[in-house]
Structure 1
Amino acid sequence: MKSHALSAGELPGRTRTAAARPPLYPWVVFALTFGLLLSDYMSRQVLNAVFPFLKAEWALSDSQLASLTSVVALTVGVLTFPLAILADRWGRVRSLVLMAAIWSAATLACAVAADYGQLLAARFLVGAGEAAYGSVGIAVVLSVFAPHVRATFGGAFMAGGSFGSTIGIALGGIIAVQFGWRWALASMAAVGLVLVVVFRLTVTQRRVDRYRCEDAGTAVEESEADAARRVPLSSLFSNTSVLCVYLGSGLQMFVAAVLLAWTPSYLNRYHAMSPDTAGMVSAVVVLLIGAGMIACGAITDRISRQRPERKWTTAVCCSTASAVLLAIGFQLPESGLQLVVIGCGAFFSAGASGPATAMVAELTHPSLRASGFGALTLANSLLGLAAGPFAVGVLADSAGLLTALRIAPLVHVGAVAALLIGKRCLPAGLRRPAALNDRASA
């Protein structure tokens, strides 16, 4: 295979070097991909805002209501990794369009569902459409920006889940009160369908390839789909450092998921807040978690530009800060000061997400990057989003919610240990993508 000198603004199919200054189009790609991510979580979480309406109209039990949320999370967890692999081989951009169209159409189907069974089936399709969007979307975004800003964009992109959830619940509740629950769901579907059309007309794989930016010496000139067939999938799990990223990221997400799920109940039981007030305060916690993802990612890029291993250091510092602040916060008596300390702990609780995204990008071959992010999402889902709330709920049944919340921050210790081991193995881990590139080009 011939090699050519690459520069910004060359012909389609060529890659830009890390030193090139990104033009406007990568920002357009980020904005539209991020917009669809907001739509993703708006469609996923809007149903929580209309639970009272569904319960009153269809006489649903709490377990039936919970299943409408759980079926999405379960579908996402099961399908994320295989769909990310398919996207690497079929084409990432057109995969994003198809996924967004599926979840938007499924959300519209939810709005016209005639009974619980139809609504449950439509929610399953929502999960199927959303399953790999985050993994594939972040792979597309990072491909058009230089490596030294990956943590910033990784953290900002992942924070879209927090912001989209907040918008979906808040806006959905307002629309449901004014026009009915079906219009709340239909509105979220309309947002997604409009963004699908705009994305399809604006973002194409050819243009993304034109602005692709990889590390010097690792850019692949052949199509990503062709290279993905050459690079073994097992490379995603044969690198000790990247395995440590999966484990460390999943464990730090455990604590963030606990805060997302149990803060309203904690405020209601121990601060005597009404459900609506507890919901508003909890929304602030959700926003703090999202803001922390962005801020910690930006700080990571700034201090690691010359020394990439500092990404691991900032991830360790975020997990440590969250563990200390939350451990102190839940020991303090119920007061405004306690909520401030807990809020500070929440800010750092998912701060390692941006650095983790950048680490996976560095430690995986470009052609398998969406699959690598799929594995990261799987770890975050199983070890964090699914395990965290459930484990604390089980512990709360026997020891009380406050005791469970005091113990939960200790999981950060495991995250720190995994990240320190991964950092120690980093030199060998960084050599693997280059070796795989040579093998794929042979």
Structure 2
Amino acid sequence: MSRSAITPDYDRYAWVIFALTFGLLISDYMSRQVLNAVFPLLKMEWALSDAQLGSLSGIVALMVGLLTVPLSFLADRWGRVKSLTLMAVLWSLATLLCAYSQSFAQMFAGRFMVGIGEAAYGSVGIALVLSAFPERLRATLSAAFMAGGMMGSVLGLALGGVLANVLGWRYAFGAMALFGLMLALIYPLLVRDPRPQSAIEAATPMMVAFKSVWRGAQLPWVYFGSGLQLFVSASLMAWLPSFLNRQYQWDTATAGLTAGGLVFIGGIGMIVSGYVADRIRQQGRYRAEQIAMAYCLCSAIGLLLAFSVPAGAVQLVSIAIAMFFCAATTGPAGALVAALTPAAIHGTAFAMLTLMNNLLGLAPGPYLTGVLADIVGLRSAFVVLLPLMSLLSAFAFCGVARKSMARAARVSSL
């Protein structure tokens, strides 16, 4: 059979895998971020501090960080499609339980279960998607897939805010749960693992794979850089609705819709930045880590300007520009992880990326921002924390570049 006869069928099915896995990632983040749209309502109803609100957001990311490696390892062996389906059912049912919470403790327990359900979805999902496409598309696909998190955040914030304003916050949680359950029923009917498990994957013990991931001199710097930069985007996604509610005195619907639009710009930035990174790398001008450094510096400058100007149109435009760059490192980081590890342990390597993204960024970001906001105010917390984290991320990617140059120098001297 000719190549032309095979390629179209393969390409179409690869995009089916991408579309449905992307859809479940949207559901993942809708369930995760709907909470942030109703922060003002929960704060009023249960008299919560900003630190308590931040903990409700951070506990999900913390559980994702703690469980992503072992659950990703098990998913690689049990079957990625079956594992992804089970995860979606669990986080959707947990979100439904959140809708019935009567206290902070019950909501915290529900969010704890959401975190368990979502723990390995990002790493297993991206491993499944990348296995269905050629290597040359890695940065673009990594950025586009992870942009599903931003798109899900947009819908969670916008729809959550509107539903909470019209029907109450419990209906907002219920709607997100039902959407996830519907997708979870469809997913295993249309998606299968695109390739059989290799003998190497089946025989690699978890600790061996774990040590292989950390053995390289460059990869830990990639993990640190990616996690620190996602501290920024996690903090913004969690607190932008509250910032707009306090700074502009908007209701939950208006604040949620506006925050959703700003996060949407961040998602577009992820996709565009990943595509640009692939094109620049293919032309041989710069390496992925150098491109990531540039994105971090743009993020730091944009954030400092955005939250230093007074409330108004200029500030909103400045926040939009900063949002474009705040998660732009996702594509280069994913490409670096794939390039620096063998295919047999990609699931574990991306699980480690998810682990560091959550432990360094997604979990502490909302909580530490809330703690500082209780002391100095939310706007001041943004100005102090977020540009600093972008600069630290740039420093980490600089470490990747230094290790790359040192390695190239050793090879050339042989």
For the criterion TM > 0.5, the same-fold answer is yes
Superposed CA deviations along residues 332-358 of structure 1, whole A, max 9, x for unmatched, are 344422332232122111101111011
Question: C-alpha separation between the residues in 2 aligned to 1:66 and 1:248?
Answer: 23
Partner of 1:92: 80
1:254-287 residue CA offsets vs partner (Å, 9 max, x unmatched): 2223333343444455x54434444443222211
Instruction: Name the stretch that deviates more: 367-376 or 331-340.
Output: 331-340
**Change in 2 beyond 3 A, CA 1:8/1:138:** farther
CA distance 1:429–1:155, shift in 2 (3 Å): farther
CA contact (8 A) 2:130 2:138 kept: yes
| SS of corresponding position for 1:274 | coil
Question: CA shift at 1:203, angstroms?
Answer: 1.3
Could you tell me how far 1:84 is from its partner in structure 2? 1.7
3-state SS in 1 of match to 2:221: helix
Preserved contact between residue 289 and residue 350 of structure 1 (Cα < 8 Å): yes
Match status 1:132 vs 2:120: yes
- Considering Cα pairs closer than 8 Å and 6+ residues apart, tell me whether 1 or 2 has the greater RCO: 2
CA-to-partner distance for each residue in 1:121-160, whole Å, 9 max, x for gaps?
4433222111110111011111111222111111111121
Deviation at 1:9, TM superposition (A): 8.5
* Equivalent position SS for 1:23: helix
**Change in 2 beyond 3 A, CA 1:283/1:107:** closer
- Which structure 2 segments of 5+ residues have no match? 409-414
The aligned counterpart of 1:242 is 219
2: CA distance between counterparts of 1:77 and 1:314?
Answer: 26
What amino acid is aligned across from residue 209 of structure 1 in structure 2? R
What is the TM-score when the length of structure 2 is the normalising length?
Answer: 0.84
Q: 1:187 to 1:156 in 2, by over 3 A?
A: same
Residues 229 and 346 of structure 1, relative CA distance in 2, 3 Å threshold: closer
Q: Residue 271 of structure 2: SS of its match in structure 1?
A: helix
- Whole-Å separation in 2 of the counterparts to 1:367 and 1:338: 47
Residue correspondence of structure 1 range 41-190 to structure 2 within 5 A: 41-49=29-37, 60-62=46-48, 68-111=56-99, 120-175=108-163, 182-190=170-178
Whole-angstrom CA distance in 1 between matches of 2:38 and 2:243: 22
* SS class of match (1:332): coil
CA radius of gyration, larger in: 1
Evaluate the alpha carbon distance shift between residue 109 and residue 240 of structure 1 in structure 2; reply closer, same or farther with a 3 A threshold: same
Question: Which residue, 303, 308, 316 being the options, matches 1:339?
Answer: 316
Aligned counterpart in structure 2 of residue 419 of structure 1, from 391, 394, 397: 397
Q: CA deviation at 1:8?
A: 9.4
- Alpha carbons 1:77, 1:131 under 8 Å: kept: yes
Contact 1:264 1:275 in 2 (8 A): no
From the superposition, tell whether residues 150 and 51 of structure 1 become closer, same or farther in structure 2 (CA, over 3 Å).
same
Between the aligned partners of 2:333 and 2:251, the Cα distance in structure 1 is 35
Deviations 1:285-343 (A, max 9, x none): 21121111111011111221253952222211111111122223333344422332232
Q: How far does residue 245 in structure 1 lie from its aligned partner after superposition?
A: 0.5
Partner of 1:253: 230
> In the TM superposition, what is the alpha-carbon distance from 1:32 to its structure 2 partner?
0.4
1:296 corresponds to 2:273: yes
C-alpha deviation, 1:423, in angstroms: 2.1
Q: Identify the residue that residue 411 of structure 2 maps to in structure 1.
A: none
User: Letter of the aligned partner of 1:413 in structure 2?
Assistant: L
Question: CA contact under 8 A between 1:363 and 1:429: conserved in structure 2?
Answer: no
Change (3 A) 1:152 1:61: same
Asked if residue 387 in structure 1 is aligned to residue 353 in structure 2, the reply is: no
Task: List per-residue Cα deviations over 1:52-110 (Å, max 9, x = no partner).
Answer: 77789xx6442676665444333223222221222233332221122112222333444
Q: Partner residue of 2:333?
A: 356
CA contact (8 A) 2:293 2:397 kept: yes
> Given the alignment of the two structures, is residue 202 of structure 1 paired with residue 190 of structure 2, yes or no?
yes
State the shift of 1:221 in Å: 5.4
Supply the distance in 1 between the matched residues of 2:84 and 2:93 (Cα, whole angstroms): 14
Residue of 254, 257, 261 corresponding to 1:284 = 261
Identical counterparts, % of pairs: 48
Q: CA deviation at 1:204?
A: 1.4
Any unmatched runs of 5+ in structure 1?
1-6, 11-15, 211-219, 431-442
Q: CA deviation at 1:395?
A: 4.2
Distance in 2, matches of 1:100 and 1:201, equals 14
The 1-side partners of 2:207 and 2:169 are apart by: 49
Structure 2 CA distance for partners of 1:147 and 1:428, relative to 1, 3 Å: farther
| Cα RMSD for the two superposed structures | 3.4
Higher helix share: 2
Distance 1:364 1:106 in 2: 34
Counterpart residue type for residue 338 of structure 1: Q
- Three-state SS of the structure 2 residue aligned to 1:237 is helix
Once residues 9 and 369 of structure 1 are traced to their aligned partners in structure 2, the CA distance between those partners, rounded to angstroms, is 30
Do the aligned residues in 1 keep the contact of 2:67 with 2:116 (CA within 8 Å)?
A: yes
Q: How many angstroms apart in 2 are the aligned matches of 1:53 and 1:263? A: 15
Change (3 A) 1:137 1:402: same
Q: CA separation of 1:91/1:222 partners in 2, compared to 1, >3 Å: closer, same or farther?
A: same
Aligned length: 402
